[in-house]
């Protein structure tokens, strides 16, 4: 394995060199497949598709593949529901060696039949995820789904997502295509004043918080995609006047398709931190073009900011000067986190994402200092090296990054799908500040580092 020196040290694969930079270089290679053997932190194509579709609360999810792929369930990507609970189950065709040799289509047909016979309440919507081995043996998943749709008169939508066929971003795209398949037949419905929220998965009830803000300032929410959604609410999405896109990585493509097919414009938003939450509320209100709603948004944001500022001021002296490492899924969230740390007087010294885009990395570079290390599609060795080198006090990441931080004796904040309290909106700001404070200033790190 060939290694080269970056920043005066060895330890980074040559093929990864262009995906790591500082503000001085401001030229990062991204939106490309992971380097073989680099042990990327990224999830696979199937996982990308599943994370977007799984929160649809009354959908049944059949994983057509070996049982291992089905271990990716609600339990590790928990989103909350105000209605159905079907999405908390996972079904698998459990493909074995003989199925690989003779094909798995009969098994998939039987799995759908079994669900239709036994599942309560009766399925209205089934997603069939074809994973790696199905991509290799070439089962005609689409044909099985088409036949099942005709037989049962319900929607059975194939998601051909072999893990090896690209990056997690491709999985997002496949999920967006599946949603379009679901809602396209409902394109012709009268327009209503209101928005769809795209790219929020209702982790710890965050969708409810954002929806509540919009409703308080006079903006009806027509459909939530996909947090706390259902078949019935999703198919109303074509009637909305505006799409607001929270997680651009997973849902920008869906917004583009909805603009083409239904004429719904979109804007990107982020509800993490005071600055981004305030700006997002004002931009949504202003885009809708009703002065009274814009005035409501300004009043609401000013009141909530006034309430939250004392919390920031209380904890800021305990956090000022601390150094943070960020490794999250998309660039938009990383940008919000850098701003949140700046509000607390902290510095982001390492910033990485799994699927960031060129324009997002440009914004990241404009917000950080000259020496901050910016990484696309990092692996644990790189994260360990740069977090150590930059003397990070805390890592903000997800379930895959948590053990890395703890092994290094470093504080950690889960900002991904395992979080148990909301981190979005004004409520989320308080939770975030408290969590960062409790973790970073815990006395345990002194013992673990000595
Ligand atoms: S990489 Fe392939 S085998 Fe592994 S979870 Fe993803 S789809 Fe399944």
- Phi, psi at 224, each rounded to 5°: -110, 125
Q: What would the mean pLDDT of 304-311 be, rounded to a whole number?
A: 97
Which atom belonging to ligand 1 lies closest to the Cα atom of 44? 6
Retrieve residue 107's tokens. 């098994």
Nearest CA to ligand 1 atom 5: 69
Which atom belonging to ligand 1 lies closest to the Cα atom of 131? 7
Q: Determine whether the shortest distance from the Cβ of 132 to ligand 1 is under 6 A.
A: yes
Which phi-psi region, left, alpha or beta, contains residue 442 (left: φ > 0; alpha: ψ -120 to 50)?
beta
Answer yes or no: is pLDDT of 336 > 60. yes
Q: Where exactly does CATH 3.40.50.1980 map onto the chain?
A: 1-30+320-419, 45-175, 195-296
**What was the pLDDT predicted at 25?**
74
Pocket test for ligand 1, best of 40, 128, 163, 168 (most atoms within 8 A of CB): 163
C-alpha span between 408 and 121 (Å, rounded): 47
C-alpha span between 54 and 70 (Å, rounded): 12
Q: Determine whether the shortest distance from the Cβ of 171 to ligand 1 is under 6 A.
A: no
Choices 3.40.50.1980, 3.20.20.100, 3.30.930.10, 3.30.379.10: CATH for 45-175: 3.40.50.1980
Which atom belonging to ligand 1 lies closest to the Cα atom of 43? 6
CA distances in angstroms from 35 to 16, 39, 45, listed in the order given: 7, 8, 15
CA distances in angstroms from 23 to 92, 286, 368, 369, 381, listed in the order given: 46, 33, 7, 7, 21
Q: Determine whether the shortest distance from the Cβ of 65 to ligand 1 is under 6 A.
A: yes
Q: How far is the CA of 363 from the centre of ligand 1 (A)?
A: 33
Residue linked to tokens 């008169």: 153
C-alpha span between 429 and 434 (Å, rounded): 9
Q: How far is the CA of 374 from the centre of ligand 1 (A)?
A: 28
C-alpha span between 76 and 431 (Å, rounded): 21
How many of the other CB atoms lie within 10 Å of CB of 4? 13
Pocket test for ligand 1, best of 33, 71, 76, 131 (most atoms within 8 A of CB): 131
Q: Where are the alpha helices (DSSP H) in 119-239?
A: 132-137, 141-152, 168-183, 206-216, 231-234
Give strand pairing partners of 61: 127
Pocket test for ligand 1, best of 40, 162, 175 (most atoms within 8 A of CB): 162
What is the distance of C-alpha 204 from the center of its chain? 14
Q: Are 326 and 390 in contact (CB under 8 A)?
A: no
Retrieve residue 106's tokens. 């009969």
Nearest CA to ligand 1 atom 1: 163
Q: Are 168 and 89 in contact (CB under 8 A)?
A: no
Give percent above pLDDT 90 in the chain. Answer: 85
Q: Determine whether the shortest distance from the Cβ of 48 to ligand 1 is under 6 A.
A: no
Q: What would the mean pLDDT of 67-87 be, rounded to a whole number?
A: 90
Q: Determine whether the shortest distance from the Cβ of 163 to ligand 1 is under 6 A.
A: yes
Give percent above pLDDT 70 in the chain. Answer: 97
Answer yes or no: is pLDDT of 77 > 80. no
What sign for the dihedral angle of Cα 434, 436, 441, 442?
positive
Give strand pairing partners of 78: none
Q: How far is the CA of 67 from the centre of ligand 1 (A)?
A: 10
Name the least confident of 100-109, 316-325, 383-392, 413-422.
Answer: 413-422
Nearest CA to ligand 1 atom 3: 132
C-alpha span between 260 and 239 (Å, rounded): 14
**What was the pLDDT predicted at 7?**
46
**What was the pLDDT predicted at 27?**
82
Answer yes or no: is pLDDT of 347 > 80. yes
Instruction: Please report how many Cα atoms fall inside a 13 Å half-sphere around the Cα of residue 263, on the Cβ side.
Output: 7
C-alpha span between 45 and 50 (Å, rounded): 9
**What was the pLDDT predicted at 249?**
79
Q: What is the pLDDT of residues 166-224, one digit of tens each?
A: 988 999 999 999 999 999 999 999 999 999 999 999 999 999 999 999 999 999 999 99
Q: SS3 for 4?
A: strand
For the chain, the average pLDDT equals 93
Bridge-based pairing state of the strands 3-6 and 9-13: antiparallel
CATH topology of domain 1-30+320-419: Rossmann fold (3.40.50)
Q: Determine whether the shortest distance from the Cβ of 51 to ligand 1 is under 6 A.
A: no
Q: Report how far apart the first and last C-alpha atoms of the chain are (Å, whole number).
A: 33
Q: Determine whether the shortest distance from the Cβ of 338 to ligand 1 is under 6 A.
A: no
Q: What is the pLDDT of residues 245-271, one digit of tens each?
A: 997 778 999 999 999 999 999 999 999
Confidence of residue 42 (pLDDT cuts 50, 70, 90): confident
Which atom belonging to ligand 1 lies closest to the Cα atom of 162? 7
Q: How far is the CA of 43 from the centre of ligand 1 (A)?
A: 9
Q: What is the DSSP letter of 229?
A: B
The H-or-E segment that residue 261 falls in is helix 248-262
CA distances in angstroms from 172 to 61, 102, 139, listed in the order given: 16, 30, 22
Answer yes or no: is pLDDT of 121 > 90. yes
- Phi, psi at 201, each rounded to 5°: -110, 15
Q: Are 22 and 358 in contact (CB under 8 A)?
A: no
How many of the other CB atoms lie within 10 Å of CB of 278? 19
C-alpha span between 269 and 200 (Å, rounded): 11
Q: What would the mean pLDDT of 137-143 be, rounded to a whole number?
A: 97
- Higher-pLDDT residue of 116, 400: 116
Q: Determine whether the shortest distance from the Cβ of 112 to ligand 1 is under 6 A.
A: no
Instruction: Please report how many Cα atoms fall inside a 13 Å half-sphere around the Cα of residue 365, on the Cβ side.
Output: 19
**What was the pLDDT predicted at 43?**
86
Q: What would the mean pLDDT of 366-385 be, rounded to a whole number?
A: 94
Instruction: Provide the CATH number for the domain formed by 195-296 in this structure.
Output: 3.40.50.1980
**What was the pLDDT predicted at 8?**
44
Confidence of residue 1 (pLDDT cuts 50, 70, 90): very low
Residue linked to tokens 């890395």: 404
Q: How far is the CA of 133 from the centre of ligand 1 (A)?
A: 8
Angle between helices 331-343 and 274-288 (to 10 degrees): 120
Strand ranges (DSSP E) for 165-229?
195-200, 221-226
C-alpha span between 267 and 351 (Å, rounded): 24
Answer yes or no: is pLDDT of 278 > 60. yes
C-alpha span between 226 and 375 (Å, rounded): 29
Confidence of residue 120 (pLDDT cuts 50, 70, 90): very high
Answer yes or no: is pLDDT of 74 > 90. no
Q: How far is the CA of 250 from the centre of ligand 1 (A)?
A: 19
pTM: 0.92
Q: What is the pLDDT of residues 101-116, one digit of tens each?
A: 999 999 999 999 999 9
Confidence of residue 450 (pLDDT cuts 50, 70, 90): low
Q: Determine whether the shortest distance from the Cβ of 69 to ligand 1 is under 6 A.
A: yes
**What was the pLDDT predicted at 250?**
87
């Amino acid at each position: 394995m060939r290694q080269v020196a970056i920043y005066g040290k060895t330890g980074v694969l040559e093929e990864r060199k262009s995906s790591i930079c500082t503000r001085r270089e401001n030229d990062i290679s991204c939106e490309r497949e992971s380097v073989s053997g680099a042990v990327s932190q990224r999830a696979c194509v199937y996982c990308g598709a599943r994370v977007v579709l799984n929160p649809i609360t009354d959908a049944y999810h059949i994983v057509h593949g070996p049982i291992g792929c089905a271990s990716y369930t609600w339990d590790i990507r928990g989103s909350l529901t105000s209605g159905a609970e079907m999405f908390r189950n996972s079904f698998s065709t459990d493909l074995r060696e003989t199925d690989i040799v003779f094909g798995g289509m009969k098994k998939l047909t039987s799995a759908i039949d079994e669900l239709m016979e036994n599942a309560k309440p009766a399925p209205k919507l089934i997603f069939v995820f074809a994973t790696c081995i199905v991509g290799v043996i070439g089962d005609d998943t689409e044909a099985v789904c088409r036949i099942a749709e005709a037989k049962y008169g319900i929607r059975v939508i194939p998601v051909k997502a072999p893990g090896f066929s690209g990056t997690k971003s491709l999985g997002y795209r496949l999920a967006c295509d599946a949603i379009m398949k679901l809602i396209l037949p409902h394109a012709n419905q009268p327009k209503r004043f209101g928005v769809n929220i795209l790219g929020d998965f209702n982790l710890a009830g965050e969708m409810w918080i954002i929806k509540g803000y919009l409703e308080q300032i006079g903006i009806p929410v027509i459909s939530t995609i996909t947090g706390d959604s259902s078949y019935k609410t999703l198919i109303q999405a074509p009637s909305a006047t505006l799409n607001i896109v929270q997680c651009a990585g997973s849902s920008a493509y869906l917004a583009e398709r909805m603009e083409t097919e239904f004429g719904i414009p979109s804007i990107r938003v982020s509800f993490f931190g005071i600055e981004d939450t305030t700006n997002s509320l004002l931009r949504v209100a202003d885009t809708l073009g009703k002065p009274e709603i814009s005035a409501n948004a300004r009043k609401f944001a000013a009141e909530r900011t006034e309430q939250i500022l004392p919390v920031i001021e209380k904890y800021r002296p305990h956090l000022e000067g601390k150094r943070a490492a960020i490794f999250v899924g998309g660039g938009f969230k990383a940008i919000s986190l850098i701003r949140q740390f700046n509000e607390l007087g902290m510095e982001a010294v390492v910033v990485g994402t799994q699927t960031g885009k060129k324009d997002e990395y440009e914004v990241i570079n404009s917000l950080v200092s000259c020496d901050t290390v910016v990484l696309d599609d990092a692996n644990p060795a790189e994260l360990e090296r740069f977090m150590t080198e930059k003397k990070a006090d805390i890592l903000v990441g997800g379930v895959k990054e948590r053990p890395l931080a703890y092994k290094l004796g470093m504080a950690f904040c889960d900002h991904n799908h395992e979080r148990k309290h909301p981190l979005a909106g004004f409520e989320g700001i308080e939770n975030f500040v408290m969590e960062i404070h409790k973790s970073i200033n815990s006395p345990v790190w002194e013992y673990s580092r000595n």
